[in-house]
Structure 1
């Protein structure tokens, strides 16, 4: 499954875990992507990978 939102283009971002003793390890911050049924701009019903922030903000018209 794709890790990129089809509405806003948000994708994974690299970062670092820093422990209490300041040991540093690499990690990923991944957006919460869900597959939902939407109506696109032409009015067609289709499935899309959308992040939950776009769903909560109302950027998606669900079918």
Structure 2
């Protein structure tokens, strides 16, 4: 699960702040789903983020 095939979204590093305000680094992964989609007229399984799925940027294969 490296990146979204449509927009290129990938994981990022964020600061995780505790109650006592100690800061540590945390990896936040993108919400990627494996989807059967039509790409160049043929069905393929690709990783797509949920934002692209909601926006309708992917045509799902039936």
Query: Normalising by the residue count of structure 2, what TM-score does the alignment of the two structures yield?
Result: 0.91
What RMSD over aligned residues (CA atoms) do the two structures have, in Å? 0.9
Runs of 4+ in 1 over 6 A off after TM superposition: none
Query: Normalising by the residue count of structure 1, what TM-score does the alignment of the two structures yield?
Result: 0.89
Flag structure 2 segments of 5+ consecutive residues without an equivalent. Answer: none
Alpha-carbon contact 1:3-1:31 (below 8 Å) kept: no
Asked if residue 58 in structure 1 is aligned to residue 56 in structure 2, the reply is: yes
Pairs aligned (count): 61
